[in-house]
Structures are given as C-alpha cells and as structure tokens.
Structure 1
Amino acid sequence: MSNALRITPVEGRADLDAFVDLPWSIYADDPYWVPPLKAEVKALLNPRQNPWFGHGELQLFLARRGEEVVGRISAHIDHLWIERYPGQGHWGLFEAKDVEAAAALIAAAEDWLRAKGIGQAVGPFSLSIWDEPGLLIDGFEEKPMVMMGHHRPAYEGWVEAAGYTKVKDLHTFALDIRIDMIPVIDKLIQLGEKNPRIRIRDVDKSKFDEEAAIILDILNDAWSDNWGYIPLTDAEIAYAGKKLKPIIVEDLVKIAEVDGEAVAFMLTIPDINELIADLDGKLLPFGWAKLHWRLRRPITSRVRVPLMGVRKSHQKGRMATQLAFMMIEFTRRVCVDKYGINWGEFGWVLEDNQGMMSIAQLPGAGTNHTYRVYEKTL
C-alpha cells in the first residue's frame, strides 16, 4: 500500500477509536503528558452526550500514511460564538507526527470551514473556550492540571507556518500556597474580616443545584465583557454540574456575599489528573473502581482555580480586590492547614485582563504555562 499522506474524515467507530487513541503514540516518550480518560474524550465528541452540539457542528479528520495514523484535527462551528464573532469558525484537537501531516490537516479543517461559509479560522479550541482553549507554547516541562492541555513544542512553528497569527495568550500561574500574603494584602484581608457587610462562605453540596446557579449567574455577569466569552446554555450548565459535583470539596469553593447578596465566587478543584494518571485512559476492567474509590476523598497534592468572578456592580474600587484576596486567603488556609496541600495553580487568565493578572501575581506565584489562540483569514 502507498505511503502517501491521506487526509480522510472520521467515519465510524474504528476511525473514532483511532482519533481518540492517537495521543498515546504522539506522547509515548513525554513524561509530562497525562493520559486523558478515553471515555471522557468520546463523550466530548458524542452529540448524544455533549450539549455543545445543541449549538455547534463538528467534523473530525485523520491523517494516515499507509495504515499508520499520523495526525488528527477537528473543524467546528459554534453558532453562539458566531453571534458574537461573525464569520469565525474553529479547529482543535490537533495532533501530528510531522510538519507535512500538520499542514495537510490544518488545510483540511480550513477547507471544511470555507465550505460552510466561514471567513476566519480561530483556534485551537477543543471544542469550546470552556473546554481546553489554546496551544501550549511555554511550560512543557510540567504536567498540566485538570482541564488544561499539553502539546508538542513543534506545534507552535507548524501552526505559524500555516499562516496563523496570535489573537490572545492565556496564562496560568503556579504558586506555593504555604507562603503568607504580603503585609499590605494581609491588612486588606483583615479589614474585610472585620467588615460586617462582608461574608465569605463555603458552598453547600446538599444544595448543589442552587449553589451552582448562584455561581454561574455571577460568572455570566462577571465574564460577559471578556474576549471569547460565550454563555453556557442550560443544558451545558447541567452537564458541567454533573461532571464537577464528584470533585467539589465544599470548603475549597467560596462565595462572597455583600449585604446578603452573592457578588463573587472562587472555584478551587483538586488536580484530578493526579488521580487518573496511572489509569492509562482506561476505566475497564478496574480503572473505574480505582477512580470511584479515590473520588471518595478527592484531595490531591495540587489544586487549581479555573474560575473566579466578581459581579460588574462590584468590580470598580477596592472591594473587588478585597473580596478576591479574602477568598484566596481563606482557601489557602484550608488547603495548607486542613489538607496539607502546598501547591496551586491559578488560571487561565487572559493576558489583557489587567484586574485578574494583578490578582494572579500573588506572593510565591509565577507563570508556569502560556497557551496561545491563533487566527487566520481564509
């Protein structure tokens, strides 16, 4: 059989399995890659499971030489994104073994988008900005935390060679949470603790749906002006809640109230990658039992803050900063004193989100990963 490169759409179960399995050969010698659960990847791509398909359409592609799969990519359109960013489509889930496969895959994704009337390609997104956005361009020698991607260093050059330029950089910050706040921040926190108008509380998992609704309402308000923001649908909120509930630790998720109104939140989650790293992506025959047992007490050596927000009505002035640092400090105390957790990650944070970038510059913190989102006019 010819070894010429072939790009074909994914059709049927065997192709889908090949698409999902490819990273195991791409990252076979990479000690920093964490194998995802294959069932989770397939659920992401399944229209019967993932409510993203209620407003999105997707095509997957494989690159082959002979019988060997040498690359993959997705091309997709999010109609909620198009309402805010007309004419833009996406690609993602990109992996390739060489530059020839990379170029051909990107071209195939672009052709599919053009045929759908799309004039600008933006990516990578796998599948949406709420999943794993951006291409890792810095921070390859550290295992990614939960819900963050890991890529080969060569991909940056391959994507740029295809004519893509930067849209935004997204940063994550690692911090040694054993380090106390600097005096000026600590004083701000102490003043907040003495303020009878302010209450920082834990979430109550017995009222999970109610608490989730509060957090997502704040999120929708706080993030609505950010680049890339797309509101989650009711179905997506329910889906996300179902996935997050098993890993929610009540005293690691904070809601800030001012005069009895919930105005800010901070979601801190255990680094579930630690709990799945040795499962090699498989829940059968015994992986599901191991994971179920570990999730009974999902405390890990690292935690991540993927989401944080303050209502627009409270974003101006000192109180927004005060509430943010109070939630961070209260969570830090719980992590160190109760759970013995020493390391955390904050992000991702948009490079031009000055408020969050300043908050992320905590004592003992430093940028540990940078992810880049690219664009190209088709």
Structure 2
Amino acid sequence: MIVPVESRTDVRVFVDLPWSLYRQAPGWTPPHRSSDLRFHDPARGPFFTFGTAQSFLSRDGRRIRGRITAHVNHAYNTHHGTSVGGFGFLDAEPEESVVRPLVDAAEDWLRRQGCSDVWGPMEFCLYDRVGLQIEGFERPLPMSAAHHPPGLLAILEAAGYTKKSDATVFSIPAPQAPPPFVKSVVDRCRIPGIKVRFYRPRRLADEARVIREIADRAFSGNWLYFPFPPALMQFHAEEMATLAGPANVVFAEVGGNPVGAIVVIPDLGPLLRATSGRLIPWGLPEFFRQRRAPRELLVVVIAVVPEYHTLGVAAHLIDAMVRTGIQRHARRVCTTWVDEGNFPMVNAFRRFGGTVYARYRVLEKSLAPETQV
C-alpha cells in the first residue's frame, strides 16, 4: 500500500528507511541524519522556499518496503519556461511490485501539479544528489553520492523511462605537489591582473555570495541549472562554515572581479559509515580531527566564468589549492557528479589520473496521456 508522508513521525520513518534497506550494502554511505531531517521538513528545508514536494512510503502491514518523493522545482521551471517535475529519494526493495506503485504515485501527483515530463532520480535539484547509480555498487561512496540497488534501472526502464544523461564520480590519487601539466598551464597562461586568494571565514555571507555569483555564470549552460535561491545558498554556506577552513576554498580574481572558485572539503564518508550517520556526540572528536587532517577529500565545485574558460584560471585554482597542503594526509580525492557532457572537466579529471568510481543516470519520461490508435 502506498501512503503519503504527512506527519513528523512519517518524516522520521521516511528518513530512517535507508538504514534498514542498505545496512549490509558495502557501497552505502549513510547520510547525516540530522541534515536529512531538516532537508525534508517543510518549515526548515531550503527547497520548500522555491518548490513543492510530496513524499510517499510503501507499507506492507507494519513493514516499510520503499520510499519516493515527487517534487516540482518552481524556480527551475520559471527560469526555463518548462513544466518538468522530478522524483527522488527512491529507496526500495528492488522488486517491481514495490517500485512501480511508488513511481506511479509520484507520477500521478506530478500530473496533478500540471507537469508534462518527469526527470529522476534527483534529490530536489542540481545542487543535491542526482542520478540513479548504475556502476560502482561494491565501493564505499563519498558522502555526496547516492546508493541504489542494481535492480532499479531495469524496473524503471520497464516503466517507460529512458536515459536523459549520465554522470560520473571520479576517484583521484591525492597529489602531493601540483601535477606537471598544471604547472605548465600556470606558467604558460599569464593572465594580466590575476590574483588568487583564500576563503575568509569571518566574512561567510560575502564569500557565499561570491561563490553564488560565480556559479550562476559558470553553470548557466548546464541543462539542470537555475539561479541559486538565497535559502539554498544559506543552507550550503552553513555547511561550508562547518567543514571548510581558509585553505578549502580558493578564489581567482582579475582586476578585483571574481572569475573562478574551487571548493574542496573533507569527505566525511568514512566517519558517517563508522557512526551510522549520527555524528553527535561520539563522532565529534573524529570529525574535528578529519577537518584538520582529512584522509579523503571531496571536490564540491570548480567553477570558472565563461569568458575565462580557456585561459588557465582552473589551473591557477588547482595549483593554489594543492600548494596549501590540505591533501597531505589524504589517500584520495573524489568528485561530486560530473555530467558526461562536461568534456573539459571529464578530460581534466582523467589527466589527474582519475578513474571512474561510480556512475549515475538521470532518466526521463513524458507524463502526457498515451494516445489511442
């Protein structure tokens, strides 16, 4: 039976379900439970300031067998002039009798909202976890990556979904010095007036605004892009304040104008796995240790405004970041998802020695009623 999530108790059941589904899965990294509870709370979650959503549970008596969220990102649709809906947080026993009713419930809700198409899975928007895992099931994932059982793709394809785009999570050996090709680009591309500076924690609001402005210009051509809403920026700024020190964020400026930024934070995946997603209180000592000397790192953003894409700004950012030494204790650096159409980033990560660690697929389907012949 499919039931809507309506009460606070329902939200807690919804958030806690992956623990019962994936506890034994070698690739699953638990999310930070407190953050997930906030994310799904309409009164506190940033998405609900610019979108609407309805979550559903699959109940079999007292047993919960699956979950899904249907959502409409009004900011995205307004920006692009579309009527697209999404589904996400699809975690379920990989059986058609469980997954199909969940997907049907999400589609029905989206039709009632006036949506003509559905994309998914994506956890609300571009700036969250995006895609259905299709490779890398046996590897422990970074904290930014979603885990799905292998059988879901076939079930969704049988329900009429087709590929829209693939994305890759790369794993890169942590460099102990700027790679030769980066140094070569930095030496060759002398940009008049370029200045590299580090994040200023005491000016968090200003620094977050700069990142937002750079990202809005850098990602405007991405098919999932929409202007960064203030509430979402505030949410991620608070996360950055918790995880990032001055060396974790590097800005490039030309003539005092920001033209690029890179954000690399500690990947708390190992700690989340060790604490089962509950950092407080027992995980706090290790959290502070990993923030000072992380064993794994996560590239959250590399963004360069379009007019400087081919002028070596990214190399300047990477060179400055590596020279800080934040990676000296790290074994590896992982990326968040990199869209297959982002050829410059795909090629750059491969030149760094990056290998495919996991792969994800965004699916699409028309919600228009089928015409009878």
Contact 1:257 1:263 in 2 (8 A): yes
Matching residue within 332, 335, 342 for 2:322: 332
Is the aligned partner of 1:72 residue 2:67? yes
Contact 2:251 2:260 in 1 (8 A): yes
- Structure 2, unpaired ranges of 5+: 368-373
Distance 1:279 1:183, change over 3 A: closer
Shift in Å at residue 329 of structure 1?
Answer: 2.8
Matching residue within 13, 18, 29 for 1:18: 13
- Find the residue that maps to 1:219 and give its secondary structure: helix
Aligned to 1:376: 365
Matching residue within 331, 339, 351 for 2:340: 351
Distance 1:181 1:148, change over 3 A: same
Matching residue within 119, 123, 131 for 1:122: 119
Distance 1:243 1:136, change over 3 A: same
Is the aligned partner of 1:55 residue 2:45? no
Aligned to 2:129: 132
- Find the residue that maps to 2:54 and give its secondary structure: strand
Aligned to 1:81: 76
State how far apart, in whole Å, the 1-side matches of 2:264 and 2:278 are: 26
Shift in Å at residue 357 of structure 1?
Answer: 2.1
Task: Tell me how many residue pairs correspond in the alignment.
Answer: 364
Shift in Å at residue 346 of structure 1?
Answer: 2.6
Aligned to 2:370: none
Is the aligned partner of 1:101 residue 2:98? yes
Q: How does 1:236-247 map to 2 (within 5 A)?
A: 236-247=232-243
Contact 2:250 2:263 in 1 (8 A): yes
Is the aligned partner of 1:30 residue 2:25? yes
- Find the residue that maps to 2:336 and give its secondary structure: strand
Is the aligned partner of 1:175 residue 2:165? no
State how far apart, in whole Å, the 2-side matches of 1:340 and 1:264 are: 26
Shift in Å at residue 179 of structure 1?
Answer: 6.8
Matching residue within 324, 340, 352 for 1:363: 352
Q: TM-score, normalised by structure 2?
A: 0.91
Quote the sequence identity (%).
Answer: 31
Deviations 1:265-297 (A, max 9, x none): 1010110223322222335xxx23532762376
Aligned letter for 1:304?
L
Aligned to 1:309: 303
Aligned letter for 2:255?
D
Aligned letter for 2:139?
E
Deviations 1:44-71 (A, max 9, x none): 1111111211121111111122221111
Distance 1:292 1:126, change over 3 A: farther
Is the aligned partner of 1:342 residue 2:334? no
Distance 1:168 1:187, change over 3 A: same
Please report the RMSD computed on the Cα atoms of aligned residues, expressed in angstroms: 2.1
Shift in Å at residue 259 of structure 1?
Answer: 3.0
Deviations 1:23-48 (A, max 9, x none): 11211211221222222111111111
Which piece of structure 1 moves more, 49-58 or 11-20?
11-20
Shift in Å at residue 208 of structure 1?
Answer: 1.8
Contact 1:274 1:300 in 2 (8 A): no
State how far apart, in whole Å, the 2-side matches of 1:131 and 1:252 are: 20
- Structure 1, unpaired ranges of 5+: 1-5
Contact 1:178 1:342 in 2 (8 A): no
- Find the residue that maps to 1:126 and give its secondary structure: coil
State how far apart, in whole Å, the 1-side matches of 2:38 and 2:150 are: 27
Aligned to 2:371: none
Shift in Å at residue 127 of structure 1?
Answer: 2.0
Contact 1:335 1:342 in 2 (8 A): no
Aligned letter for 2:300?
P
Distance 1:104 1:57, change over 3 A: same
Shift in Å at residue 11 of structure 1?
Answer: 2.5
Shift in Å at residue 254 of structure 1?
Answer: 0.8
Is the aligned partner of 1:221 residue 2:217? yes
State how far apart, in whole Å, the 1-side matches of 2:192 and 2:184 are: 16
Is the aligned partner of 1:112 residue 2:109? yes
- Find the residue that maps to 1:241 and give its secondary structure: helix
Shift in Å at residue 186 of structure 1?
Answer: 2.7
Distance 1:355 1:363, change over 3 A: closer
Distance 1:185 1:28, change over 3 A: closer
